[in-house]
Chain A
Amino acid sequence: MTAFINGIGLISPQLTTDPAVFLPEIVEYTADYLQAINPNYKDYINPIAARRMSRLIKMGITSAKIALSDAGCQMPDAIITGTGLGSVEDTEKILSGMNEGEQLMNPTPFIQSTYNTISSQIAITLNCHNYNSTYVHRAFSFESALQDAMLQIEEGMADNALVGGIDEMTDNHLQITRKAGHWKMNPVNNLTLLSSGTQGALAGEGAAYYLLGNQRSQSTYCTLSDVKTIYHPKDTEELETSILSFLSFNGLTIDQLDAVIMGYNGDILFDTVYNELGSGIFMQTQKLWYKHLCGEYYTSTGFALWLAANILKHQLIPAAIKVNNLPSDRLQHILVYNQYRNVNHSLLLLNR
């Protein structure tokens, strides 16, 4: 099941909203978490329609519109979103409202907090009656959405599909989830994240929508050949076996990979998984990383996929994302490998 990536819209902590340019500069932060750079949402959504939308919904609709316009597509055959947390801001409004008593709750945050609001607001904006779904499984959310879209295409139910990965962070949610050990306890510099030597990741956020199609077009970046999720592998050996069989299922060996983009997030407890693979099966591979640019969030592979697609399109690896430095002339095959807390592991394979 191969799909062409024909359009991308990405809102992230980097300068990524213009599909015509590829990382013109790297934005440096010293922060508790990396916040997405908001475009002017009024350029994309009319204010009356936007009156009930929290920032996450606006991010979703805007990145979806950028992806559609990048691909020159008016009406997708399917709209599928992955979001680990949905609208945190709206959920918090309800929870703090309930803390103050349940008498005077207003309906808007409840409506927006429903996880499938993003997919359905995109459908309303486009007046699209086609297949619509939403996946909410931690670091499998975006991957499940991609798999569904590729299956739609394989089944012949869709010629193209709009697929997104979107999550937000708030001060309040950061404070709470810090206590469960997810994040660093103090602000860090994003560019030196790998040498932090501390537990916890640097949190981030972003919205990435893709138009996948069954046909190559003028706007094609590359192909997305396969997506796999691996749930809770026993050990690194089992993980390596899964990765190798994924590649071999797709007719590749490890030495044919021109780069592997890995999900290092600066958490010394869990980056060991990448280190083991890096000195194991990926010993001779060009290794790249991306979470210093966008932070850690459940759908961060939405950012990694953008990187991979642009590397293949521009035939260029930005120096800022290299973990090691191997010479390469032709960039043909890129693997994205991500894991969160050694439970949700995923693989995305892209070909030029």
Chain B
Amino acid sequence: MAKRVVITGIGIISSIGSNLPETIDSVLASRSGIGKLKYLDTFHRDEYPFAEVPWSNSQLAEFAQLTDLAGYSRNALLGLIAAKEAFAHARLDQVPRLRTGLISATTVGGMDRCEIYYKDFLTNDSKNQYIDVYDCADSTEKIADLLGIGDYVTTISTACSSAANALLLGARMIRSGKLDRVVAGGTEALTSFHVNGFNALKILDKVPCRPFDANRSGITLGEGAAYLILESEEAARAGNREVFAELKGYGNACEAFHQTASTPDGKGAYLAMERALKIAGLKPSDIDYINAHGTGTDNNDIAEGLAIERLFNGTIPKVSSTKPFTGHMTSAAGSAEAILSILCLTHRMILPNLNLESPMPELSFTPVRELISDLDVNVVMSNSFGFGGNNTSLIFKKI
């Protein structure tokens, strides 16, 4: 019999807050983190809006209580802050240690430093201590060392579904009894690398992203980190601690269609959601809210929207994309949006899809446009889809 997986701790830093309480304040006030770039240096800085974390690296180092910033990428700093918050939130320092893993996700690792120091790497020795920061594993190992986690450590990179897949693996490791606790999530710093990549693909919106709007024109890049503490039900009993939700289901599917495009009818999205429902043992009508991937690109929103219509035929739950709050946090989007979905359970609310003016004529449903509060929300689904057609869907249930 598979073990139940529950969530006992949350940590998040993004453009809308440096921790969980600030994040809650921002979403309750419908306050977006999208604006002008302050720290990232790129040719495209004035061309597009971004959801940048509004603190410098040295301020982030202070948040992470580091005395020396040397050798740390912004990617690692963001990850350390969120993972530490989650660990403390679950009060894991106050209960006996059990088999604990760290499963972290990132798409370009320490690229934020490497792209700046690349010329130095090629021509002199001044930045040699940042060479190994390039690896995706660098931030993961720094987090593992700080939290003293060693029973299982790994890093996942499946583009924009990365952190959702970290949660998926964490849940499977606990259900199968291989681990008792997992710190799972993702971290991503804004990079010129990403800005140029998405710019070359012509999918950055010149105004803050407008998911599910008829006039949407692409994504707004964001950054940040988000980690959750997953525990088996038994492990969570130690120390009289709070349990926030159950991770009830998960599903992953591959579009196998095109490296950067979804099938027009969202086959991968459909399969991922269907598989998650099956693992959860739930019907489509049991879902109260879908936190959609909803990037704001032409292609994603129509494919995801049509897949939702087909799967939830007749019983379409409330839907919104929260990317207009946080921007697209790429590899960290999956865990950040899992957290926003869980807040809907714990705070009895549905988060709005900001910036939505003209609903898409192709879809029969309209996402939620204003914050809904005082509503019983029992089961939520969070979608995260990535390049390569890597689609993952997670289901959380109120405890």
Find A120's partner among B152, B197, B387 (CB 8 Å cutoff): B387
Find B157's partner among A124, A134, A179, A180 (CB 8 Å cutoff): A134
Interface string of B236-273 (1 = CB under 8 A from A): 00000000000000001111111110000001100100
B3 within 8 A of partner (CB): no
- Give residues 268-312 of A contacting B (CB, 8 Å): none
- Give residues 114-147 of B contacting A (CB, 8 Å): 114-115, 118-119, 121-122, 125, 128, 131-132, 135-137, 140-141, 144-145
Contact stretch, chosen from A4-12, A33-41, A99-107, A191-199: A99-107
Whether A140 pairs with B387 at a CB distance below 8 angstroms is no
A129 within 8 A of partner (CB): yes
- Give residues 86-124 of A contacting B (CB, 8 Å): 86, 94-99, 101-103, 105-107, 110-111, 113-117, 119-121, 123-124
Q: Find chain B residues with CB under 8 A from A79 CB.
A: 254
Given known pairs A98-B192, A123-B254, A231-B150, the reply for A180 and B128 (CB within 8 Å) is yes
Interface string of B151-173 (1 = CB under 8 A from A): 11111111100000100010011
Find B199's partner among A84, A105, A155 (CB 8 Å cutoff): A105
Q: Find chain B residues with CB under 8 A from A217 CB.
A: none
Find A94's partner among B196, B201, B390 (CB 8 Å cutoff): B196
Q: Find chain A residues with CB under 8 A from B165 CB.
A: 133
Given known pairs A116-B159, A132-B252, A136-B155, the reply for A94 and B387 (CB within 8 Å) is no
* Number of interface residues, chain A, beta carbon within 8 A: 58
A130 within 8 A of partner (CB): yes
B389 within 8 A of partner (CB): yes
Find B136's partner among A103, A117, A121, A136 (CB 8 Å cutoff): A136
A182 to chain B, nearest CB (A): 8
B110 to chain A, nearest CB (A): 12
B56 within 8 A of partner (CB): no
Given known pairs A120-B259, A154-B176, A179-B125, the reply for A129 and B137 (CB within 8 Å) is no
Q: Find chain A residues with CB under 8 A from B310 CB.
A: none
Interface string of B347-372 (1 = CB under 8 A from A): 00000000000000000000000000
Given known pairs A95-B118, A102-B196, the reply for A136 and B137 (CB within 8 Å) is yes
Find B43's partner among A101, A114, A115, A179 (CB 8 Å cutoff): A101
- Give residues 288-347 of B contacting A (CB, 8 Å): none
In this complex, what residue of B is CB-closest to A83? Answer: B157
Find A126's partner among B152, B253, B256, B390 (CB 8 Å cutoff): B256
Whether A229 pairs with B254 at a CB distance below 8 angstroms is no
Whether B178 pairs with A98 at a CB distance below 8 angstroms is no
Whether A138 pairs with B387 at a CB distance below 8 angstroms is no
- Give residues 131-185 of A contacting B (CB, 8 Å): 131-138, 140, 144, 148, 151, 154-155, 172, 175-177, 179-180
A127 within 8 A of partner (CB): yes
B33 within 8 A of partner (CB): no
A343 within 8 A of partner (CB): yes
Whether A115 pairs with B132 at a CB distance below 8 angstroms is no
Whether A98 pairs with B172 at a CB distance below 8 angstroms is no
Interface string of A3-46 (1 = CB under 8 A from B): 00000000000000000000000000000000000000000000
Find B197's partner among A110, A154, A172, A177 (CB 8 Å cutoff): A110
Nearest 9 A/B pairs, CB to CB: A120-B388, A110-B197, A102-B43, A115-B157, A132-B254, A107-B200, A180-B131, A137-B155, A136-B136
A109→B165 CA distance, assembly (Å): 24
B36 within 8 A of partner (CB): no
B280 to chain A, nearest CB (A): 14
Interface string of A323-351 (1 = CB under 8 A from B): 00000000000000000000100000000
In this complex, what residue of A is CB-closest to B197? Answer: A110
A239 within 8 A of partner (CB): no
Residues of A bordering B, CB below 8 Å: 52, 79, 84-86, 94-99, 101-103, 105-107, 110-111, 113-117, 119-121, 123-124, 126-138, 140, 144, 148, 151, 154-155, 172, 175-177, 179-180, 229, 231-232, 343
A231→B267 CA distance, assembly (Å): 39
Whether A103 pairs with B155 at a CB distance below 8 angstroms is no
Given known pairs A120-B259, A134-B156, the reply for A110 and B252 (CB within 8 Å) is no
* Number of interface residues, chain B, beta carbon within 8 A: 65
Whether B197 pairs with A94 at a CB distance below 8 angstroms is yes
Residues of B bordering A, CB below 8 Å: 42-44, 106-107, 109, 114-115, 118-119, 121-122, 125, 128, 131-132, 135-137, 140-141, 144-145, 150-159, 165, 169, 172-173, 176, 178, 192-193, 195-201, 252-260, 267-268, 271, 386-390
In this complex, what residue of A is CB-closest to B152? Answer: A229
Whether A99 pairs with B137 at a CB distance below 8 angstroms is no
In this complex, what residue of A is CB-closest to B256? Answer: A123
Q: Find chain B residues with CB under 8 A from A133 CB.
A: 156, 158, 165, 169, 252, 390
Whether B155 pairs with A121 at a CB distance below 8 angstroms is no
Find A151's partner among B115, B137, B178, B387 (CB 8 Å cutoff): B178
Given known pairs A98-B192, A126-B256, A229-B153, the reply for A114 and B387 (CB within 8 Å) is yes
Given known pairs A107-B200, A229-B153, the reply for A124 and B159 (CB within 8 Å) is no
A165 to chain B, nearest CB (A): 14
In this complex, what residue of A is CB-closest to B140? Answer: A137
Find B200's partner among A85, A106, A131, A151 (CB 8 Å cutoff): A106
Whether A124 pairs with B256 at a CB distance below 8 angstroms is yes
Find B153's partner among A151, A155, A231 (CB 8 Å cutoff): A231
B35 to chain A, nearest CB (A): 21
Find A85's partner among B135, B256, B388 (CB 8 Å cutoff): B135
B335 to chain A, nearest CB (A): 16
Whether A155 pairs with B137 at a CB distance below 8 angstroms is no
Given A116-B157, A116-B159, A132-B158, 14 more A-B residue pairs with CB atoms under 8 Å apart are A99-B118, A110-B198, A111-B259, A115-B158, A117-B387, A120-B259, A120-B387, A121-B259, A134-B158, A136-B156, A137-B153, A154-B176, A232-B141, A343-B141
Q: Find chain A residues with CB under 8 A from B198 CB.
A: 110
A269→B135 CA distance, assembly (Å): 21
B168 to chain A, nearest CB (A): 9
A93→B258 CA distance, assembly (Å): 22
A96→B258 CA distance, assembly (Å): 26
Q: Find chain B residues with CB under 8 A from A343 CB.
A: 141
